[in-house]
Amino acid sequence: MRRLLSCLLSVALLMLQPVAAQPNLAQRIGTTLADTGVPGYRFATLRLSSADGERHYRLRVALPTGPAPAGGHPVAWLLDGNAALMDVGAATLSELARRPAAPVIVFVAHDNDLRIDGAARAFDYTPRRPGGDAAQRDPLGSRRNGGADAFLDLITTQAMPQVAALAPVDPARQALWGHSYGGVFVLHALFTRPQAFADYGAADPSLWWGDGQLAREEAAAAAWSARTRLRLWLGAGAGERQPPAGRDAARLEIMQRARQSAPPDAAPALAARLRHRGLAVEVLDLPGLSHGQTLGASLPPFLFGLTQGE
């Protein structure tokens, strides 16, 4: 009954979330709940830099004000943190704060006021492919790829200890969420460092990226623990073949060709293979929503899912 009520509440709150059909790379973050506050949570800010000093990050950390559970709070790491912070509503956070195992929520963003930093995420969220620097070219333009391992190191070796210093957390209940290229990062972490997190959530991951790189990582992945799980949210955009309007013809053609390199059933087929290998996998459809809309829509069920089993 508790699981049913949780799911119903998650769906109800999901319907309140603002969503955008396609990401606007020029959109600014503006005022968010981290600035205005919300009952049941207080916010702290952490700033980190990459090992080479070229990239800078701002982590807005939502800390429950209520007592911590005996084992510590679960922790949700949300990529595209500015966009996630804009799309997580006050009702969602207030309800989460009332749960006995309210999660600490880390909104992991690049240190600027862009909702989506396209160039920075194209580098940080994608693994390095075979070949030299010339091979680390993004299929959708001149952006660089290949920084996922360094970014994952930063989260696990620097950010995690700093967040743990802010509140009592349960190191065995760390969860990672990402959308689109962020979903590529989530799957890369699952395949290459499955012990880093217990719960992985990918909203419409860009499975077409990298000319089969994720498939190669999947085939080479080590076994995961019995408590590890993956959740995949799929909207209508998961199988879209028409790229968003308003871009130049050459970019449209490149994007369309890249997306067509993965079959429409790539995500369900991935889930089936991983289940066969013993991983707990849930596929959750978000019918009628575009690729861009799945970002905000997947956040409430992902966050409420961390409080189940209290």
Based on the residue annotation, tell me whether 188 is a catalytic residue of this protein.
no
Q: Respond yes or no: is residue 50 known to be catalytic.
A: no
Distances (CA, A) of 131 to 128, 136, 146, 218, 220: 9, 8, 11, 19, 18
How would you label 32-71 residue by residue, b for 16+ Cβ within 10 Å and e otherwise? bbbeeebebbebbebebebeeeebebbbbbbbbeeebbee
Alpha carbons 192 and 85: distance in angstroms, whole number:
28
Catalytic residue among 50, 240, 261, 282: 240
Q: Is 180 noted as a catalytic residue in this protein?
A: yes
Helix axes 90-97, 2-14, angle to 10 degrees: 160
| Secondary structure of 196-256 as H, E, C letters | CCCEEEEECCCCCCCCCHHHHHHHHCCCCCCCCEEEEEEEHHHHCCCCCCCCCHHHHHHHH
Cβ atoms < 10 Å from Cβ of 113: 13
Contacts of 291 (CB under 8 A, 6+ apart): 22, 180, 204, 235, 236, 237, 238, 240
Q: Which of 73, 110, 188, 291 is catalytic?
A: 291
Q: Which of 10, 73, 179, 180 is catalytic?
A: 180
Catalytic residue annotation: 180, 240, 291
